[in-house]
Amino acid sequence: MSRAGINSTKINILYNPINPSLYQRNYPPTKNDKNIFSVGFAGRLVERKGIVVYLDVARIILNKYDNVFFFGSG
C-alpha cells in the first residue's frame, strides 16, 4: 500500500489473532475414498456470494452422481 502512495500512518496491519496451535487435531485423519467427492461452501448465504449457483450446481450433480457430497456453512 505504501508503494501505491498511501501514507504509512494510515496503514494498520492486523495479524492473525488466533493461535493455530490451540486447534491441533487430536484424532487421526479419516481415510479418503478416492471415489467420493466433497464440495464445500463457506460464506454468507446471500445471492451475491454465490449460494444460489452452488445450490443449482448441487442439484444438477446430485441428480447425476451418487458419490458427491455437498456441505456448507454461512
Cα–Cα dist 40/73, whole Å: 8
- Please state the φ and ψ torsions of residue 37, each to the nearest 5 degrees: -120, 140
* Cβ pair 11, 1 in contact under 8 A: yes
- Give me the pLDDT at residue 16, please: 79
Each residue of 49-72: pLDDT tens digit?
Answer: 889 999 999 999 999 999 999 999
Neighbours of 51 (CB within 10 A): 16
**For residue 20, what pLDDT band results from cuts at 50, 70 and 90?**
confident
- Please state, for a pLDDT cut of 90, what percent of the chain lies above it: 32
